[in-house]
Amino acid sequence: MYVKVKMDGVAITRKVDIKLFDSYESLTNSLITMFSQYQDCDREDTNFKFTFQGKEGDWLLPGDAPWKIFAESVHRISITRDCPCPYTRLLF
């Protein structure tokens, strides 16, 4: 089952076959390798957050569902920067 993967700041959406993976860790490692040519994913100060959209349309975090249920229900994966903006501290 192929799933679309979109990363913030990257214009190209990729597709991955979820059946090739057996855990969140193996999927994450593959996505980091795949997108590292577009973003500096390996820097220690760069954090990304993975979310997925299930068949019902809800966006969830990967740990919200066991791997088997995730692999059967994932429709789309989004990778967003998880960096707090320094200016938000001044506004709130």
pLDDT single digits (tens) 57-89: 999 988 888 999 999 999 999 988 775 544 444
Identify the band that residue 18 occupies on the pLDDT scale cut at 50, 70 and 90.
very high
Tell me what pLDDT residue 42 has. 52
Q: What is the CATH number of domain 2-91?
A: 3.10.20.90
Q: Which pTM was predicted?
A: 0.76
Q: Average pLDDT of the chain?
A: 81
pLDDT of res. 43: 53
3-state secondary structure the chain: CEEEEEECCCCCCEEEEHHHCCCHHHHHHHHHHHHCCCCCCCCCCCCEEEEEEECCCCEECHHHCCHHHHHHHEEEEEEEECCCCHHHHHHC
